[in-house]
Structure 1
Amino acid sequence: MPAETTQARLLIVEDDQRMRTFLAGELNCEGYGVSEAEDGQGALMHLRDGSTDLVILDWTLPDFSGVEICRRLRSSGDITPVLMLTCHDDVRDRVEALDSGADDYILKPFSIEELLARIRAHLRRTAYWQGAVNADEISYGDLSVNTATREVLRAKAAISLSVREYDLLLCLLRRAGRVVEREDILREVWGENHFGDENLLGVYIRYLRRKLEPDGLPTLIQTVRGVGFMLREGEPRP
């Protein structure tokens, strides 16, 4: 049994009992602690105690949609990783899921091996950052990140980031002033065995720009066409 799974606590939010039972059985066999909820209200109540390490969330539920649950979680400051299960394959639906605060999504029908791989990848990243003990501040210009508290500030204003956004920012911040190739970013932030659409990197870059580059402040994330991205101050947006 992989060591990183022994203490991880997962919440399955799925109204289809057969699917919920199947997932719970597979995850229990992998060594995870599993809780279940059949609707959005039950999920939100369960998540209040802060004991969940990752949520497997179905898009379609009898009361709230998975998108609405994500929005409620993020608006309350909850950064628990959310992996959304969906039948929606349209790009607009993917963007809606990610904009709502989902960290990843997987299309139905899916292979259990792919689901398990994505869960492991998210838990490794979360465990790494939660286990960080170096409280040194990493900064660039008026941007600063405290790796112990995960506090992000720009011009002394606090910025709330999802787990994936935070990982992406650190990847660029630790190489400020240097070009980071797309493949290196995907490998570091999404993991060696990333199965998703590479266009998601562009989506998350837009998320970061929206949060880090308010009107009047210099831009921070620059695109190097055909290569990747770099963190470097530019001109304020018009």
Structure 2
Amino acid sequence: MKLSSVFVVTVYWEYRSKGGLTRRWQRRVRWWLRLLIVAAALVGTVWSTERVTGAYEETRVFRDAPACPGGATSRPDDLCVGRESAVVESRDRSESCTVNSGGGQTCSTSYSVTLRRPEPGRTLEIGVGRDLYQKSREGDRAELRVWQGSLVGMSLRGDSSTYPPPAQRLMMLLTGVALLCVGIGLWALFSGSADPESWAAPAGWLWLVLTLPWLIDGVLLGASPLRWAVTGLLVAIGTVWTLIGLGREFRESRLASVLRRG
């Protein structure tokens, strides 16, 4: 096994030193395949953007919705926020660990409570913070806020928590899909390179795909100062990362060579 590994590494470096591997990786994706990728990315962008708009409108309806008359619960077709009383049935604490590059472990603990809702046999598990987990007890009564059957708020032991409605979560997911499609389309249109050394800009854009939806959600629907600071910092990192990658791509492009000669 060790001899075969040494052989593979030796062949790799020999092939790279002669330029074969470098030339193979620097080839661009074929033009017709790039056109297909651009077309697919365009369709994906239009599809996801249309649904982002719909999810945003649904979220706005929830934000403006009144309380249901008489404190009744909210059914799937109701345009009001209802209330329910639930009972803490159990508490749960779980720990997950990952091994880092140095061989050590990094562990995180998550907490949740299981609530028994008014309907017979219907329960709901909710993630909570450490403080609320420690304060809560089995048999405690929780007051729930419900929007069209989905939990959007909870009061337990004097602590209040809010949760985004399904439409808001869908809006953030589809925003990420739209950004991903835009990035793929731009890569296929202007680059199409399969060289791993040119993946800095796509990696930075992927970072933005994961972080920018949170910032857009805050811009459209509001956010706390802490969330503004964290998401703004993460988006700034992704933006700088992407720009550095694009700058490197431009310096190695044919256009930059022509400009340097001129």
Report the TM-score, using the length of structure 2 for normalisation: 0.27
Please state which structure has a larger fraction of its residues in helix: 2
Report the TM-score, using the length of structure 1 for normalisation: 0.29
More RCO (CA 8 Å, sep 6+):
2
